[in-house]
Amino acid sequence: MLSQGTQGQPDPVISEYRGRFAPSPTGPLHFGSLFAAVVSYLEAKRHHGKWLVRIEDIDPPRELKGAVTSIISCLEHHGLQSDEDILFQSRQSTYYDQMLETLQSLNCLYRCPCSRKQLADTAKHLPICRQQEVEGLPCAIKFKADGKAKVWQDGMLGRTSYLLDEDFVLKRKDGLYSYQLAVVADDIQQRVTHVVRGADLVESTPMQLALYDALEVSPPQYFHFPVVMNEQGQKLSKQNLAKPVNIDNATQNIQRVLAMLGIIPGGDANNCRSLLSNAIERWHPDLLATRKSFVEPAIC
């Protein structure tokens, strides 16, 4: 049985705002992730809400040893502490399988043994997998896209619409759960009302909305903010070797993030929690309204 997400109410009257920050432990926290953590934190606290940390460790082959501990410690050094117990996706398999069973019973899924090459030819692929049971082959479990536009009112981007015309994987051939399934399942279980994340994830939103539709659960409100780039204009990521955040410079790092947001830091300059709590009343999403992206500061 799936719990019903709290229906988001219009800003600013939100009965219980529940936001989250959900890093993957594929490497230590970089400045872009710290920026995302602070934005989601300030937005939750502006609404007197809860801010939850979730570790998205569903892909062990891509995980870096020690990254989970290092990320949690790095957040804590920066005054960013989860308001509830940290949720680990690696412990959620039973729940994810239940969700797959629910979606299966709603006739939303099919098993697909196709290779990437076969998938490149969609015309051939669909009649094979969508319309007959495939047995005896390693299969991915896929969600049937309905080919319709998914529309939402984004807190940053305004009315946003994406055509969802491609089926997508919920469980891979190797047995690992997909990001889309895990995120929706966890956001429902954690009763997340607001998803505040980088605009690099905007293309996941239509797939996630399709899952909410199928499950008949109200989706959270989405807010996609501009991401932090390096000097070469690439999004900071573990793939392009973004530098880890140095915890020895924690207060300076928080001040750098606040400065990027256009907030003049107040409070105790030597205390991250003080800097953050002082920033809450100065923070407003309008501060990002004219920004397309941010550039990583030289030292972090």
Residues forming the site for Zn ion (CB under 5 A): 112, 114, 125, 129
Distance CA 178, CA 59 (A): 9
CB of 131 to Zn ion, least distance (A): 11
CB of 119 to Zn ion, least distance (A): 7
Pairing of strands 294-295, 228-229: parallel
CB of 126 to Zn ion, least distance (A): 8
Which is closer to Zn ion, CB of 77 or CB of 111?
A: 111
Other CB atoms within a 10 A radius of the CB of residue 220 amount to 26
Distance CA 250, CA 75 (A): 9
Which is closer to Zn ion, CB of 60 or CB of 127?
A: 127
User: Which structure tokens are listed for 147?
Assistant: 């080919």
Other CB atoms within a 10 A radius of the CB of residue 80 amount to 23
Q: Where are the alpha helices (DSSP H) in 216-271?
A: 250-260
CB of 140 to Zn ion, least distance (A): 8
CB of 165 to Zn ion, least distance (A): 16
Which is closer to Zn ion, CB of 75 or CB of 207?
A: 207
Which is closer to Zn ion, CB of 72 or CB of 112?
A: 112
Which is closer to Zn ion, CB of 64 or CB of 134?
A: 134
Instruction: Kindly give, in sequence order, each residue whose CB lies less than 8 Å from that of residue 162, ignoring residues fewer than 6 positions away.
Output: 149, 150, 203, 205, 206
Residue type at position 28: P
CB of 209 to Zn ion, least distance (A): 23
User: Which structure tokens are listed for 114?
Assistant: 């196709």
Which is closer to Zn ion, CB of 125 or CB of 273?
A: 125
Q: Are 171 and 181 in contact (CB under 8 A)?
A: yes
| Alpha-carbon dihedral 144, 192, 237, 290, rounded to 10 degrees | 100
